[in-house]
Amino acid sequence: MPTVNVNGVELFYQLSGHAGPPLVLVHGAWWSHRSWEAVAPRLAESFRLLTYDRRGHSASEFPPQPWRVHDDVADLAALIEQLELAPAWVGGISSGAAIVLRLASTRPELVRGVIVHEPALFGLLAGDPDVAPVLDSVRERISAVAARIGSGDHRGAARQFVETLIKPGRWDTLSPDYRQIMVDNAPVFLQGLQDPEVLEFDLDRIAGFPKPLLLTYGDQSAPVFRHVVTKIADAVPEAQVLSFAGAHHVPQRTHPEDYVDVVTTFVREHADAS
């Protein structure tokens, strides 16, 4: 099982593919590198593909001391550097997308371009009266899930997260092993919520991003994600925005062919710019 020590933490990773530019994918909360299983084989045909388990998740080390989102960003930067993948195309989903955007804003020399789906940066919506009811609802649901984790009911919390924040009925469609991944990673989700910056982002830091940026959302996702994408797109007028038809928060799993086509097309169209 390949691991690498970055910033004092052992991280599990997988490298596949032998040709094309490097592509690094960052999973969201609750998940692991396995969230990319449905798309990895095809992406590896066009890229040198890196997937990994973020600190605390699944096969990677759970540090004894609390960590912040900036540590996840530092881990991603160190992985790209130690595995000699810079500059790389970097993509992410949900909280993984938020990590990718932070990397792009602080270490742009490490990236060729960015492809992010529904960044979990709900703090961007604070103070907007048009979305206040939606934002309040999301915060209440997250708090309810966190309380359930704190009570020790990790399975119930995982199910509640999926049913109330992803899509009703989705939990029953997950395979037993994918459900177990979420249950095992519930404490990591709770740990992440202790960071007051985890849902925040300074748009001024990404406004001048000089490289290709693709923002995506699912047209069946909770509206809060589309609002976040719109906020980022307004700050980066050069960014492209794309909607996955019929998809929600995890298109790489529910619409893998579409996801692969979007990524490969975007990279191909911007090969000269990168």
Mean pLDDT split into 10-residue runs, the chain, 274 residues: 93 93 97 97 97 97 92 98 97 97 97 97 91 89 96 97 90 93 96 92 93 97 93 95 95 96 96 68
Model pLDDT, residue 40 = 97
**pTM of the predicted model, to two decimals?**
0.96
Domain boundaries, the chain: 3-128+203-269
Give the tokens for residue 55: 């600190």
- Which segments of 29-128 does DSSP mark as H helices, in order? 40-43, 69-82, 95-106
Give the Å distances, CA to CA, from 3 to 52, 74, 257.
9, 16, 29
Q: Which CATH number fits domain 3-128+203-269: 3.90.1640.30, 3.30.360.10, 3.40.50.1980, 3.40.50.1820?
A: 3.40.50.1820
What are the residues whose beta carbons fall under 8 Å from the beta carbon of 165, sequence distance 6 or more? 138, 141, 142, 145, 222, 249
**Coil, helix or strand at residue 16:** strand
Model pLDDT, residue 273 = 61
Model pLDDT, residue 132 = 87
Model pLDDT, residue 253 = 93
Peptide bond connecting 41 to the previous residue in cis, omega within 30 degrees of 0: no
- The helix or strand, by DSSP H or E, that contains position 4, with its residue range, turns out to be strand 3-6
Q: What is the number of residues in the chain?
A: 274
- The helix or strand, by DSSP H or E, that contains position 114, with its residue range, turns out to be strand 111-117
**Contact (Cβ atoms closer than 8 angstroms) between residue 175 and residue 169:** no
